[in-house]
């Protein structure tokens, strides 16, 4: 019976250690993230949001894609965790327009069951290509040494 307990304990330790790897580490800090662009008052879309994703270094933010080239970082405040969003998000606008603005609410599919939502505190343009440019520059600097 004790060997069964020992196996269960070792199995759970193994599972927890696999879940915490260095791959989850953000590539850059939020303060120095070159992808964060100019702050905007609103982000407007014609028909719908084309996609969304989590931010690798900020669990209080989401990236929304409004068109192929228009991505915005929504900075959130409240009890929700953007990493909990699995399949869908909802943006509840306070004005009824087709624009995302500060003060609008964001709900994730995980938050819906708990009745939680977050408020958008700011919106920034998002430039994912800037991180690739920064990495190239760093590689070129290292190679020239």
- Average pLDDT value for residue range 105-131: 85
Q: In this model, does residue 11 exceed pLDDT 50?
A: no
The span from the CA of 5 to the CA of 116, in Å, is: 38
Q: In this model, does residue 115 exceed pLDDT 80?
A: no
Q: What pLDDT, on a 0 to 100 scale, did the predictor assign at position 127?
A: 92
Number of Cα atoms under 13 Å in the Cβ half of residue 41: 0
The span from the CA of 136 to the CA of 96, in Å, is: 42
Q: What pLDDT, on a 0 to 100 scale, did the predictor assign at position 13?
A: 32
The span from the CA of 93 to the CA of 105, in Å, is: 7
Q: In this model, does residue 19 exceed pLDDT 80?
A: no
Least confident range of 55-59, 63-67, 79-83, 91-95: 79-83
The pLDDT-based confidence of 121 (bands split at 50, 70, 90) is very high
Q: What pLDDT, on a 0 to 100 scale, did the predictor assign at position 103?
A: 94
Per the CB < 8 A criterion, the answer to whether 82 and 62 are in contact is: yes
- Average pLDDT value for residue range 7-18: 32
Q: Report the predicted TM-score, pTM, of the whole model to 2 decimal places.
A: 0.72
Q: Apex CA 77: angle with CA 106 and CA 64, to 5°?
A: 45
103: left (phi over 0), alpha (psi -120 to 50) or beta: left
First to last CA, the chain: 60
The span from the CA of 71 to the CA of 64, in Å, is: 6
Q: In this model, does residue 116 exceed pLDDT 60?
A: yes
46: left (phi over 0), alpha (psi -120 to 50) or beta: alpha
């Amino acid at each position: 019976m004790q060997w069964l307990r020992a196996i269960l304990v070792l199995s759970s330790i193994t599972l927890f250690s696999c879940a915490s790897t260095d791959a989850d580490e953000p590539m850059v800090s939020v303060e120095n993230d070159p992808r964060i662009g100019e702050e905007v008052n609103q982000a407007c879309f014609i028909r719908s949001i084309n996609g969304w994703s989590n931010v690798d270094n900020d669990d209080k933010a989401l990236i929304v894609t409004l068109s192929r080239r228009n991505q915005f970082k929504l900075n959130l405040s409240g009890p929700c965790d953007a990493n909990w969003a699995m399949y869908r998000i909802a943006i509840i606008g306070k004005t009824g327009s087709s624009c995302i603005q500060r003060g609008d609410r964001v709900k994730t599919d995980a938050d819906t069951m708990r009745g939680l939502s977050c408020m958008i505190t700011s919106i920034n343009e998002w430039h994912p290509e800037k991180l690739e440019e920064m990495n190239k520059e760093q590689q070129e600097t290292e190679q020239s040494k």
